[in-house]
Structure 1
Amino acid sequence: MSTCTFHLVSDERGSLVSVNGLKQASRQWFLKLSTALKSAGFQQSWSDYSLFVRNTPGHFTALLVYVDDVILAGSSLKAIIETKEFLSKQFKLKDLGQLRYFLGIKVARSKQGIALCQRKYALEILEDTGFLGAKPSRFPLEQNLVLTQGDGSLLKDPAQYRRLVGRLIYLTITRPDLVYPVHILSQYMGTPRQPHLEAAHRVLRYIKHTPGQGILLPSTGTLELKAYCDADWARCKDTRRSTTGYCIFLGQAPISWKTKKQSTVSRSSAEAEYRSMATTCCEVTWLRNILKDLNVGHTQPVKLFCDNQAAIHIASNPVFHERTKHIEIDCHVVREKVQRGLIKTMHIRTKEQPADLFTKLLSSNQFTMLLSKLRVINIHSNLRESIEGKNPV
């Protein structure tokens, strides 16, 4: 499949310039662009409004929009050229050629697949914070680290901490190894204290050790969704809320991951795990719809791996009892998917659970082992050497 990128500047009549500064400028700009694409035969995805697809006999073309930056991909180079010619009549555009960089994300191709990383962005963070010469760390945070709202003294300049954590959040787009540590740091943006800043500096030293780390999307493998979910019961010392974490693979490629504190307190670990399963089911449903828009059929049930036997039993038990009455909605979310054959729950050993990376701090050995299962690699080393000996998920 061919891919390219381009940047839209304005149209010939300058209508984009005329709406700049207005509250509805971005809305009107997207309306004009989407109208033009629909007139060219593209259909807007209901699952992601920034995605446009067009099916013609023997050809498929997809276009992804972020403000005025566009990725265009398709099975036919001729169709891509025709689309760019059509848009050039409607807008002034700057053709950036084959996809190599997009929104600070580097795209590297090889026989093994496509690697994504944000090395340049990571080095900019280290340079701006003065950590380019810092001593590297092999993992982001200590396994026994506990942070709370009342730790240590308040920072004199909290804006520095907030700016740093905000930049780290964007780095998690291609760095699943940073998701949980950054999730911890982001909880203290309101009143950051000295221990929170020291933990952030430890994350920077880990980035110094692995600035070019990213994810590998293998070129081989079946287009089958597999999901892993986990929860860490009552992890937050301030609120005693649990943490939900999941990662989803398409074949052997990680395509979605998340860490989030649950909105309510769970009374048991099984309840926390089941809420995590419900959240993962919602994400899987959305991904199935996206795949459908991209002409990727997925008729088989999505395997949902969980390391809690009680949560798996609740998913298949049609009887509500005292332990499940207060999570009835979550029960219905999962059970409906199971009964319709869209989800198949399966058990996985805790030590082999890749979603552990998104719910708790791990030992160095466990951290490294799970990273290999997530296909996290160093994009600047030989791809073959990077994945040699690593077990696929």
Structure 2
Amino acid sequence: MAAVMRILSYLKSAPGRDKRSISGYFTFVGGNLVTWRSKKQNVVSRSSAESEYRGIAQGVCEILCIRWLPAEIGFRPDVATKLHCDGQSAFEIANNPMQHDRTKHVEVYRHFIKEKLEHKFISIPFVPSSEQIADMLTHVVSKRQFENSLNKLGITDIYAPT
């Protein structure tokens, strides 16, 4: 009974800890950082691939907004905008035009992303997790990985000794 009371006490003191994933991304234009975001997803994902895929969809929306502004003044990018993905399963789903039974729960996202890939608005290259700078927005990373990410972002410590 003591164990049951301890579990109930924990559940009562931990509302909102419902395992929703966090999506994060950085957006660059011409090699310059222009936006960044870290946001808890609205729904609980059934798998890490689904969570990554939802993150890709959010990133695609941001890319479309960023591409829209230059297009309004007459500059249309002639190359696809890269959206780096470190989730192997999500990468395979995005880059495989075949429909799979395992993608039924992300069907709307799959069609949205597939359309943007076909129109060459985006490309989704795979990047190893060790080189994914957006990880610092979604979970704890090592000091070395954090410092490497800051260097890639062009953020330097102005107080560091030279």
TM range (shorter): 0.7 to 0.9
**Correspondence list, 1:205-244, <5 A:** 238-244=17-23
**Which amino acid in the other structure matches residue 57 of structure 2?**
A
Q: Which runs of 5+ in 1 are unaligned?
A: 1-147, 152-187, 189-236, 386-393
Q: TM-score, length-normalised on structure 2?
A: 0.83
Residue 99 (structure 2) pairs with residue 320 (structure 1):
yes
Name 1:178's counterpart in structure 2: none
8 Å CA contact retained: 1:246, 1:280 = yes
d(CA) in 1 for partners of 2:19 and 2:114? 27
* Pairing partner for 1:308 from 84, 87, 104: 87
Displacement of 1:359: 0.7
Runs of 4+ in structure 1 over 2 Å off: 148-151, 293-297, 316-322, 377-381
Name 1:150's counterpart in structure 2: 13
Higher helix share: 2
Q: CA RMSD in A?
A: 2.4
8 Å CA contact retained: 1:247, 1:258 = yes
Displacement of 1:267: 1.3
**Correspondence list, 1:66-215, <5 A:** 150=13
Q: Percent identity?
A: 37
Name 1:339's counterpart in structure 2: 118
Residue 69 (structure 2) pairs with residue 290 (structure 1):
yes
* Pairing partner for 1:375 from 154, 158, 161: 154
8 Å CA contact retained: 1:242, 1:272 = yes
1:343-364: CA deviations, max 9, x gaps? Answer: 1110111111011111111122
Name 2:141's counterpart in structure 1: 362
**Which amino acid in the other structure matches residue 323 of structure 1?**
R
Q: TM-score, length-normalised on structure 1?
A: 0.36
Name 2:24's counterpart in structure 1: 245
d(CA) in 1 for partners of 2:40 and 2:129? 20
d(CA) in 1 for partners of 2:144 and 2:73? 38
1:303-322: CA deviations, max 9, x gaps? Answer: 11111221111112233332
d(CA) in 2 for partners of 1:358 and 1:149? 28
* Pairing partner for 1:271 from 47, 50, 63: 50
Displacement of 1:149: 8.4
1:81-123: CA deviations, max 9, x gaps? Answer: xxxxxxxxxxxxxxxxxxxxxxxxxxxxxxxxxxxxxxxxxxx
Higher strand share: 1
8 Å CA contact retained: 1:243, 1:359 = yes
* Pairing partner for 1:280 from 52, 59, 79: 59
Q: Which runs of 5+ in 2 are unaligned?
A: 1-10
Which structure carries more relative contact order (alpha carbon 8 Å, separation 6+)?
2
8 Å CA contact retained: 1:149, 1:238 = no
